[in-house]
Copies of this chain bind each other. A is one copy, B any other.
Amino acid sequence: MSPPARRTTLVDDVYESIKGQLMDLVIEPGARVNIEALARDLAVSPTPVREALARLESDGLVRKRAMSGYTATPLLTADQFEQLCQLRALLEVPAARLAANHPDAAARAALTSAVTPPSAEIDPTDYRRYAPFTAHDAAFHDRLARLSGNPMLADSIVRLHAHLHLHRLYLPAGPATDTVAEHRAVAAAIAAGEPAAAAAAMTEHLTATRARHIVAFSTTETGKE
């Protein structure tokens, strides 16, 4: 009965586990990732660990140097953070516009329920057991992205959230109440089916978010590549 039947592969479990450790900062940005040590921690062999790391590399969460192993992706520099904000605006503002045009009014309204920050409503099977609020924020943006009706657009957006998340854990940032209020404005415009208002609210939110986070770079500058 020890391993009688597995409905999921070890590699998948290991992948989620390592991803969680990276998101929780158990493995700090820039730190070297020891394959055998991870394998011992997870009580598996190095083989599935290597495969999981290969996937995480394509996700941009770790980097590989030939014959030298993996390292956790370092934090973004100030320039890179600016570029990330710029890219978010290019993707998420149109996503909000599209979501407001979604034909299913009920689905649009359901987004409003996602703005309330319930700390206990987070799916425990998901890998997001880390800092509750930043996970909630990511969940809201993910739902909105999927509501755009363009899965490829949603994937591109979701892919960016991992990097943002790491920075949020390094600073307390501005008051969460502001973020919730901005989310509420976006959700309201989408529920009302007003694309222009939704786009404007999202632009406002992203601008405010950038302002809340950019101050962290003035004090602690990593400077690393």
Contacts and interface: CB of A to CB of B under 8 A. Distances in A.
A25 to B, nearest CB: 22
B153 A87 contact: yes
Nearest to A11: B54
- Report whether over half of chain A's contact residues are helix, strand or loop; otherwise say mixed: helix
Contact of A156 (B11, B52, B156): B156
Contact of A66 (B9, B152, B159): B9
Interface in A74-116: 80, 83-84, 86-87, 90-91, 94
A75 to B, nearest CB: 14
* Interface size classification for chain A: 20 to 34
B80 A152 contact: yes
Q: Could you say how many copies of this chain the assembly holds?
A: 2
Nearest to A159: B156
A129 interface: no
A100 B6 CA distance: 54
B152 A87 contact: yes
A149 to B, nearest CB: 8
Interface in A149-185: 150-153, 156, 159-160
A153 B66 contact: no
